[in-house]
């Protein structure tokens, strides 16, 4: 999968709030061009699992839609499984799948099995082949009699698993997953995650995954793409991302007695202060010196140095909107 | 190619199988739809009978020069077409707007199957079938009463013209539904079409000259009902039937081209 300088600009209505604004807009439409994605380039090898990170509105979904051929890019080009997505050739469509956590393709009033049979026909699978694949996926996802119960009576987790079945019945080589674990409880999230790992191992499928749950990303994706403001600014190993995002380390202190916040300013950035428990962020280069001074100058009972958790780093990044 | 036909045929069977199964989940709804159909038909017959004073005659000047049984043929064709739209067109095409609004059109576009086929044939509603039967009976029965000879040629001609009517109606409806790609929810254009089609209940000559032009040239309501009715009454020749097929094919191709064009503007509802 290759993206070269991919870009998408939307025209949006420029409308003032209120009735007056609405009337003016109705009479004379004004539009603004808003770039949703700008100059995104990357290459993903077959069989890779890549996490696609970014805050809401960063351009993740737009990029996924360009890669799946749902929208035409306004700049650049993409190649997925050897095809140009927006041409939507049959070979391309049978090679990919898109799972969207907030949209569903299963028929609401009927059991998942009915939807699966429709998909089998659409993808030209004969009955015995379809049955074999349904059995295999059902076993991997631990679905049984749920497949014969109307979708509206399934729990969110069961429904998501059935959605995955419907999306994977044609054995796509490239999986696009947009928030597949949205709204699921922790257990269901973990099961979906485990399934994706198994599926990738079994079929060698390429996976591009967006998720709001960092646990999904850390468990699944050795490599991440980070997008912000429509631009790609990190592409590499998740482990290295923390160095890049956080040239500091986290120091936890346990003090003999509580001290006021100002006390810690000379040593580093104060993250939290809870009585005698303190969390500081200290630049990597000054770590040794700062720790030595802390131990010398303050009544320290216990000290622990660690990497700040990746969720926190990314959250920080998205809040502040800057790269370190 | 042959395997593709088989795939589409199998898909259609699954489509309709699941559609029927889905509706059987709501029996009451099905019953209500049937009742609504009966009510509609009774209303139309009543209005027509008002025009003709009593139904025994047939000698009067009638509606736009059409005798009572002749006008009944038109009503029969209308009922038949309305039945087809209740069975196939409305259930499918009214969903397009929803697909665009909710972004589920994505799933359709990602399937290796013609998206227009999917959107046009995904579901079927049996509630319209009795209407088709009633329309057919009314059309042929009234035709016989009007003194037409229903020989093989006439029937073939009628079949061809009804096919074109259905295709024209479908293509128009699909064209309008396609505009939802741009207008999303502000515009439920299909209702306008239904209202216009309702004008086809009565012979086209029953309308004032201005409306008659509108219904012939702008909205082909005349094509939809009056022309097939004329065929039942033996007043249409072969070339006419060919011409109507040509018009239908033209509209079909236009609807396909327009759909492809519209997809270029589809941005898919955001999450």
For the segment B157-209, what is each residue's pLDDT rounded down to a tens digit? 999 999 999 999 999 999 988 988 887 654 566 677 777 778 888 887 888 88
Question: Residue B12 pLDDT > 90, yes or no?
Answer: yes
Among the residue ranges A294-298, B55-59, B191-195, the one predicted with the least confidence is B55-59
Are A62 and A151 part of one and the same domain? Answer: yes
Kindly report, residue by residue over A242-290, the tens digit of the pLDDT.
777 767 788 898 988 888 888 888 888 888 888 888 988 888 888 889 9
B10: nearest CB among A97, A121, A178: A121
| B22, B107, B271 ranked by CB distance to A110: nearest | B22
**Gap from B203 CA to chain A (nearest CA, Å):** 40
The predicted pLDDT at position A311 comes to 66
Among candidate residues A248, A246, A251, A267, the one with its CA nearest the CA of residue A304: A251
Helices (H) and strands (E) in chain A, counts: 11, 13
CATH of the domain at A64: 3.40.50.300
Residues A235 and A280 in one domain: no
Q: Is residue B170 part of a domain?
A: yes
β-bridge mates for residue A12, sequence order: A32
Is B168 within a domain? yes
- Report percent pLDDT > 90 for chain B: 34
Whether chain A has a CB inside 8 Å of the CB on B268: the answer is: yes
Is A72 among the domain residues? yes
Domains of chain A: total: 2
Within a domain: residue B157? yes
Measured distance CA(B193)–CA(B100) in Å, rounded: 20
Q: Is the pLDDT of residue A112 over 90?
A: yes
Please name which of A136, A128, A39 lies closest in space to residue A78, comparing C-alpha atoms.
Answer: A39
Q: Is residue A67 in some structural domain?
A: yes
By mean pLDDT, which of A16-20, A129-133, A228-232 is the weakest?
A: A16-20
Q: Is the pLDDT of residue A118 over 90?
A: yes
Compute CA A314 distance to the chain's CA centroid, rounded to the nearest angstrom.
12
**B270 lies in a domain?**
no
- The pTM of the full predicted model, rounded to 2 decimals, is 0.82
Question: 């067109």: which residue's tokens?
Answer: B89
Domain of residue A284, CATH code? 3.30.70.980
Average pLDDT over residues A28-37: 80
CB pairs under 8 A between A and B: 79
Q: Domain boundary residue among A219, A242, A265?
A: A242
Inter-chain CB proximity A71 and B109 less than 8 Å: no
- Whether residue A58 is found in the same domain as residue A124: yes
Q: Which of B26, B27, B112 has the highest number of chain A CBs within 10 A, making it the mutation to test binding with A?
A: B112
pLDDT reported for residue A78: 95
Q: How many CB atoms lie within 10 A of CB A255?
A: 19
- Residue A267's region, left for phi above 0, alpha for psi from -120 to 50, else beta, is alpha
Judged by phi (left if over 0) then psi (alpha if -120 to 50, else beta), residue A183 lies in: left
Q: Does A20 reside within a domain?
A: no
- The pLDDT value recorded for residue B51 is 66
CB atoms within 10 A of CB B126: 16
Q: Tell me which residue of B92, B157, B164, B104 sits closest to B128, measured CA to CA.
A: B92
**Choosing among A83, A123, A124, which should be mutated to test the B contact, i.e. which has the most B CBs within 10 A?**
A124
| pLDDT at site B270 | 46
Does A262 lie in the same domain as A225? no
Task: Report if residue B268 sits inside a domain.
Answer: no
Residues B268, A109: C-beta atoms closer than 8 Å: no
| More confidently predicted of A319 and B33 | B33
For residues A197 and A133, state if they share a domain: yes
Residue B140 reports pLDDT greater than 80: yes
In chain A, residues with a C-beta closer than 8 Å to the C-beta of B18 are 107, 110, 114-115, 117-118
Residues of the domain holding A259: 247-306
B109 in reach of chain A (CB within 8 A)? yes
Least confident of A114-118, A234-238, B193-197: B193-197
> What is the DSSP-derived secondary structure letter of residue A253?
E
Task: State how beta strands A31-43 and A300-306 pair.
Answer: unpaired
Sorted by sequence, the CB contacts under 8 Å of residue A78 that are 6+ apart come out as A1, A2, A3, A4, A6, A66, A67, A84, A85
Highest mean pLDDT among A80-94, A175-189, B29-43, B176-190: A80-94
Token digits for A241? 């991302």
pLDDT of residue A308 exceeding 60: yes
Neighbouring C-beta atoms of residue A11, cutoff 10 Å: 10
Domain that holds residue B55: 2-263
Confidence at B59, pLDDT banded by 50, 70, 90: very low
Res A9: pLDDT? 87
Q: Which residue of A has its CA nearest to B23?
A: A109
Do residues A72 and A206 share a domain? Answer: yes
Say yes or no: A196 and A262 in one domain: no
Residues A285, A154: one domain? no
ipTM field: 0.83
* B106 in A contact zone (CB under 8 Å): yes
**Cα dist. A219→A7, A71, A184, A197, A223 in Å?**
30, 30, 16, 9, 11
Asked if residue B256 belongs to a domain, the reply is yes
Alpha-carbon distance B98 to nearest alpha carbon in chain A (angstroms): 13
Beta carbons of A121 and B11 less than 8 Å apart: yes
Do A177 and A99 form a contact (C-beta atoms < 8 A)?
A: yes
* Average model confidence (pLDDT) across chain B: 84
Across the range A103-117, mean pLDDT stands at 93
Q: Which of A242, A260, A293 is the last residue of a domain?
A: A242
Domains identified in chain B, total number = 1
**Does residue B156 carry a pLDDT above 60?**
yes
Interface test with A, best of B104, B111, B121, B266 (most A CBs within 10 A): B111
Q: Say whether pLDDT at B54 is over 60.
A: no
Instruction: Tell me: do A180 and A112 sit in the same domain.
Output: yes
User: Considering the domain boundaries, does residue B269 fall inside one?
Assistant: no
pLDDT at A169: 96
Does residue A214 fall inside a structural domain? yes
pLDDT of A11 above 80: no
């Amino acid at each position: 999968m290759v993206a070269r300088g991919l870009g998408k600009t939307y025209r949006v209505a420029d409308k003032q709030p209120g009735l007056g604004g609405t009337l003016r807009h109705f009479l004379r439409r004004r539009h603004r061009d808003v770039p949703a994605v700008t100059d995104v380039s990357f290459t993903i090898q077959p069989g890779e699992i890549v996490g696609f990170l970014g805050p809401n509105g960063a351009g993740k979904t737009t990029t996924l839609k360009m890669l799946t051929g749902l929208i035409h890019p306004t700049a650049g080009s993409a190649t997925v499984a050897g095809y140009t997505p927006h041409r939507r050739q049959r070979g391309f469509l049978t090679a990919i799948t898109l799972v969207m956590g907030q949209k569903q393709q299963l028929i609401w009033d009927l059991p998942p099995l009915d939807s699966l049979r429709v998909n089998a026909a659409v993808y030209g699978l004969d009955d015995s082949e379809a049955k074999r694949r349904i059995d295999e996926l059902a076993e991997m996802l631990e679905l049984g009699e749920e497949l014969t119960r109307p979708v509206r009576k399934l729990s969110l987790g069961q429904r998501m698993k059935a959605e995955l079945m419907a999306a994977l019945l044609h054995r796509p080589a490239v999986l696009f997953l947009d928030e597949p674990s949205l709204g699921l409880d922790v257990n269901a999230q973990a099961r979906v995650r485990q399934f994706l790992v198994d599926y990738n191992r079994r079929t060698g499928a390429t996976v591009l995954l967006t998720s709001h749950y960092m646990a999904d990303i850390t468990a699944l994706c050795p490599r991440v793409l980070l997008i912000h403001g429509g631009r790609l600014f990190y592409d590499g190993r998740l482990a290295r991302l923390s160095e890049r995002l956080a040239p500091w380390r986290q120091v936890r202190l346990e003090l003999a007695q509580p001290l006021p916040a100002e006390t810690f300013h000379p040593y580093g950035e104060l993250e939290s202060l809870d009585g005698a428990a303190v969390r500081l962020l200290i630049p990597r280069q000054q770590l040794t010196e700062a720790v030595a001074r802390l131990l010398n100058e303050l009544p320290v009972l216990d000290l622990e140095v660690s990497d700040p958790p990746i969720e926190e780093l990314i959250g920080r990044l998205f809040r502040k909107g800057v790269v370190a | 190619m042959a395997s593709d036909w088989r795939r589409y045929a199998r898909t259609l069977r699954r489509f309709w199988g699941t559609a029927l199964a889905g509706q059987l989940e709501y029996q009451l709804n099905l019953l209500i739809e049937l009742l609504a159909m009966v009510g509609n038909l009774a209303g139309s017959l009543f209005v027509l009978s008002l025009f003709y004073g009593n139904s025994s005659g047939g000698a009067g000047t009638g509606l736009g020069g059409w005798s009572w049984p002749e006008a009944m043929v038109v009503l029969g064709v209308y009922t038949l077409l309305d039945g087809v739209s209740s069975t196939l067109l409305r259930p499918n095409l009214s969903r397009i707007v929803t697909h665009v609004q909710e972004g589920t059109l994505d799933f359709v576009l990602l399937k290796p199957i013609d998206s227009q086929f999917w959107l046009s044939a995904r579901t079927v509603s049996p509630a319209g079938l009795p209407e088709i039967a009633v329309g057919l009976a009314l059309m042929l029965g009234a035709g016989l009463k009007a003194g037409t000879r229903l020989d093989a040629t006439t029937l073939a001609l009628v079949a061809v013209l009804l096919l074109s009517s259905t295709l024209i109606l479908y293509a128009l409806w699909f064209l309008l539904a396609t505009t939802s790609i741009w207008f999303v929810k502000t515009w439920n254009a299909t209702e306008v079409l239904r209202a216009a089609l309702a004008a086809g209940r009565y012979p086209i000559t029953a309308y004032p000259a201005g409306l008659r032009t509108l219904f012939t040239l702008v909205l082909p309501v005349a094509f939809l009902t009056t022309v097939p009715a004329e065929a039942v009454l033996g007043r249409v020749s072969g070339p006419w039937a060919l011409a109507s097929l040509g018009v239908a094919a033209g509209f079909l191709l236009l609807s396909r081209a327009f759909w492809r064009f519209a997809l270029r503007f589809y941005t898919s509802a955001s999450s």
